[in-house]
C-alpha cells in the first residue's frame, strides 16, 4: 500500500504547470500508481482551470481568442521521442509517464554498474543541474550512508526498502533533502527498481566516503 505521497504544495505546482520537467515526471509517475493523488490532481486542475477561465474572461479580447482558436485547429505536435517497444517485464516495471523517456526495454538499456549491488541508467533529460536516473538496487543490499546537497526524490517501482525506520514500497514517493543523512536497506526477495530525481549531487557520509566518492557520482 502506498503511504508516502508528494505534499499538497508539490501537487498544486504540478497541477498549475509550475514544476520543472524532472519534478513533474516524478509526480506524474507517482500519480499513475496512486489513485488518491490522481484524483487530488484532477480536483486541483479543475480548480486551476476555473480560476484561469475567470481571469481570461476579463483579459481576453477577440484577437487573442481567435489566436487560441486557430492554434486549436493546428495538428497535434509529434511526440518528442517515439515510444519504444517494451517487453513484458519492462511494461510491468515502468509506469506510463516514464516510458517515453526510455529508448528500449530494461535489459537493453546501457546500464552503468556501481559496484555489484547498484546499476544506474541516466535518462536523456537535461534540465539545469538535475540528474534523473533509473536505478536498480539488488535485493537485500544496503546502500552507502549519504546525505544531499539538494533534494532527492525516489519513486519505488518494484520491491522496496527501509530507511530511517520507514518502509517504502511500490508507488511510494520518498523526498529527502539536506536534513537527511540516511542509508536505505533494500528488501530481500526482489530487486528494487526506482526512479531517482536529484537536483544536486549525493554526498557520501560514511568512513569510506573519500574512497567511494569517484565511483558514486550519482
Ligand atoms: Zn499519492
Q: Looking at per-residue confidence, does 179 or 122 come out higher?
A: 122
Residue 70: the pLDDT is 59
Residue 212: the pLDDT is 42
Residue 69: the pLDDT is 55
- Residue 33 CA to ligand 1 center (angstroms) comes to 8
Residue 214: the pLDDT is 40
pLDDT digits 0-9 by tens, 149-181: 788 999 999 999 999 899 999 999 999 887 777
Q: List, in sequence order, every residue forming a beta bridge with 155; answer none if it has no partner.
A: 173, 195
Residue 72: the pLDDT is 54
Residues lining ion ligand 1 (Cβ < 5 A) are 5, 34, 36-37
For 71-100, what is the mean pLDDT? Answer: 77
On whether the CB atoms of residues 204 and 216 are closer than 8 A, the answer is: yes
On whether the CB atoms of residues 149 and 206 are closer than 8 A, the answer is: no
Residue 179: the pLDDT is 79
Residue 210: the pLDDT is 41
**70: helix, strand or coil:** helix
pLDDT digits 0-9 by tens, 129-151: 999 999 999 999 998 787 777 88
- Residue 32 CA to ligand 1 center (angstroms) comes to 9
Q: Identify the weakest region by mean pLDDT among 23-37, 156-170, 203-217.
A: 203-217
**Long-range contacts, stretch 12-16, CB < 8 angstroms, 24+ apart:** 12/44, 14/41, 15/41, 15/44, 15/45, 15/47, 15/48, 16/44, 16/48
pLDDT digits 0-9 by tens, 85-95: 899 999 999 99
- Residue 174 CA to ligand 1 center (angstroms) comes to 11
HSE-CB for 42 with a 13 A CA cutoff: 7
Residue 89: the pLDDT is 96
- Angle of helix 35-59 relative to helix 8-15, nearest 10 degrees, comes to 50
- Residue 199 CA to ligand 1 center (angstroms) comes to 21
- Residue 4 CA to ligand 1 center (angstroms) comes to 7
- Residue 72 CA to ligand 1 center (angstroms) comes to 32
Residue 56: the pLDDT is 63
- Angle of helix 35-59 relative to helix 21-33, nearest 10 degrees, comes to 130
- Residue 2 CA to ligand 1 center (angstroms) comes to 7
pTM of the model: 0.79
Please name each of the domains of the chain with its CATH number: 104-215 (2.60.120.10)
- Residue 26 CA to ligand 1 center (angstroms) comes to 11
For 42-59, what is the mean pLDDT? Answer: 74
Q: What is the DSSP letter of 213?
A: G
Q: Looking at per-residue confidence, does 17 or 168 come out higher?
A: 168
Q: Looking at per-residue confidence, does 71 or 149 come out higher?
A: 149
- Residue 31 CA to ligand 1 center (angstroms) comes to 6
Amino acid at each position: 500500500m502506498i503511504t508516502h505521497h508528494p505534499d499538497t504544495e508539490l501537487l498544486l505546482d504540478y497541477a498549475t504547470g509550475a514544476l520543472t520537467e524532472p519534478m513533474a515526471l516524478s509526480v506524474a509517475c507517482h500519480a499513475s500508481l496512486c489513485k488518491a493523488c490522481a484524483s487530488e490532481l484532477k480536483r486541483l486542475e479543475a480548480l486551476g482551470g476555473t480560476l484561469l477561465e475567470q481571469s481570461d474572461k476579463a483579459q481576453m479580447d477577440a484577437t487573442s481568442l481567435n489566436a487560441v482558436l486557430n492554434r486549436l485547429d493546428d495538428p497535434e505536435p509529434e511526440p518528442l521521442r517515439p515510444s519504444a517497444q517494451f517487453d513484458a517485464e519492462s511494461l510491468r516495471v515502468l509506469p506510463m509517464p516514464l516510458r517515453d523517456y526510455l529508448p528500449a526495454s530494461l535489459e537493453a538499456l546501457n546500464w552503468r554498474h556501481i559496484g555489484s549491488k547498484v546499476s544506474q541508467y541516466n535518462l536523456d533529460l537535461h534540465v539545469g543541474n538535475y540528474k534523473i536516473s533509473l536505478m536498480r538496487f539488488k535485493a537485500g543490499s544496503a546502500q552507502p550512508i549519504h546525505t544531499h546537497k539538494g533534494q532527492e526524490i525516489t519513486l519505488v517501482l518494484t520491491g522496496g526498502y527501509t530507511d530511517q525506520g520507514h518502509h517504502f514500497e511500490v508507488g511510494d514517493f520518498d523526498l529527502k533533502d539536506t536534513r537527511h543523512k540516511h542509508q536505505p536497506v533494500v528488501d530481500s526477495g526482489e530487486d528494487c527498481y526506482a526512479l531517482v530525481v536529484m537536483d544536486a549531487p549525493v554526498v557520501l557520509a560514511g568512513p569510506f566516503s573519500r574512497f567511494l566518492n569517484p565511483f558514486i557520482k550519482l
